[in-house]
Amino acid sequence: MPAVADTPAFSPLYRQIKDLLVKGLQGGEWAPGAAIPSELELAARYKVSQGTVRKAIDELAAENLLVRRQGKGTFVGTHAEAQTQYRFLRLADDAGIAQGLTRRFIDCRRGRASAEVARALALKSGDAVVQIQRLLSLATRPVVLDEIWLPGALFKGLTAERLADYRGPMYALFETEFGVRMIRAEEKIRAVAADADSARLLDVVAGAPLLAVDRWSYSYGDEVLEWRRGLYQTRDHHYRNQLS
């Protein structure tokens, strides 16, 4: 049973229950992919109705933090799940269909954060970071060139070989081997012209229009754990988002 101080006391109760569940996720009480207690068990634990717990879980499921499985229960969301592993990737063909991409890791190195990277990751200049460069392709056509920066302290032992050998999504590797869970992201998008290096890797002419997508990925408690700058070749694809 939780301490008395953990029992929600203010309305609306389902929001308080949601916060307590997130606190449990953040603290590692339930690992990615693991089942959480039933609604009845959670209702007894927090001394609220089952309906209140269900409403809290509904919101967490809508945010992909939890996943309901018919007849099996509710599980902690993971980027290995088919319905969530590509939820941060919005590239679709001109028919509006999102497609799976193949990847090639070009580089993975440890270094020191520049002032720009330190600001993006809420670090100090000179702190250890991991820098990854990878290319995403559809069939044999390259479509996304990513530069990714991660806090070095959280990703000790991450190498290009380790990335290339892992068969699942990169975020699933971060979950299972480094205990890092990306739960939401923010993006800024602008148009740029391809420089010589990006043009070569994306198989376009220098000066060709590209879509530059800066993404900050966050874990629990709004802790920023990744900054990436993606260059999108949109000759046959577009960046598709759904607003609500």
DSSP for 63-78, written as a single string: TTSEEEETTTEEEE--
pLDDT for the residue numbered 93: 64
> Looking at the domain assignment, is residue 208 inside a domain?
yes
Q: Residues 37-41: what's their mean pLDDT?
A: 92
Domain boundary among the residues 31, 52, 76 is at 76
Same domain, 71 and 100: no
As for how many domains the chain has, the answer is 2
Same domain, 98 and 173: yes
pLDDT for the residue numbered 102: 85
Sheet holding 128-138, edge to edge: 102-112, 128-138, 141-151, 224-232, 209-218, 184-193
pLDDT for the residue numbered 135: 94
Same domain, 56 and 155: no
Domain boundary among the residues 76, 111, 138 is at 76
> Looking at the domain assignment, is residue 85 inside a domain?
no
> Looking at the domain assignment, is residue 63 inside a domain?
yes
pLDDT for the residue numbered 98: 53
Higher pLDDT, 138 or 50: 50
Same domain, 95 and 32: no
Q: Residues 112-127: what's their mean pLDDT?
A: 96
Same domain, 104 and 205: yes
Q: In whole angstroms, what is the distance from residue 84 CA to residue 127 CA?
A: 31
- For residue 15, give the amino acid letter: R
Q: Is 196 exposed, middle or buried (0-12, 13-18, 19+ CB in 10 A)?
A: exposed
Same domain, 119 and 204: yes
Same domain, 72 and 113: no
> Looking at the domain assignment, is residue 144 inside a domain?
yes
Q: Does the predicted model carry a pTM greater than 0.85?
A: no
Same domain, 70 and 114: no
Higher pLDDT, 236 or 160: 160
CATH of the domain at 19: 1.10.10.10
Match 């890797």 to its residue by tokens: 201
Domain boundary among the residues 45, 76, 107 is at 76
- Mean pLDDT across the chain, nearest whole number? 85
Choice among 58-67, 70-79, 88-97, 164-173 with the minimum mean pLDDT = 88-97
> Torsions phi, psi of 142, nearest 5?
-70, 135
> Looking at the domain assignment, is residue 81 inside a domain?
no
pLDDT for the residue numbered 146: 95
pLDDT for the residue numbered 85: 44
SS3 state at 37? coil
Same domain, 192 and 101: yes
Choice among 63-77, 79-93, 137-151, 195-209 with the minimum mean pLDDT = 79-93
Torsion over CA: 187, 190, 194, 199 (sign): positive
Higher pLDDT, 234 or 231: 231
Same domain, 62 and 98: no
pLDDT score of 182 more than 60: yes
- Tokens coding 56: 């809290």
> Looking at the domain assignment, is residue 221 inside a domain?
yes
CATH of the domain at 183: 3.40.1410.10
> Looking at the domain assignment, is residue 84 inside a domain?
no
> Looking at the domain assignment, is residue 165 inside a domain?
yes
Higher pLDDT, 9 or 131: 131
Strand 141-151 relative to strand 128-138: parallel, antiparallel, unpaired?
Answer: antiparallel
Higher pLDDT, 30 or 64: 30
Same domain, 29 and 138: no
pLDDT score of 3 more than 50: no
Same domain, 145 and 206: yes
Determine how many CB atoms are found less than 10 A away from the CB of residue 88: 17
Reported confidence tier of residue 184, pLDDT bands at 50, 70, 90:
confident
**What percentage of the chain exceeds 70 in pLDDT?**
84
pLDDT score of 5 more than 50: no
- Range(s) of the domain holding residue 24: 4-76
Q: Residues 152-159: what's their mean pLDDT?
A: 94
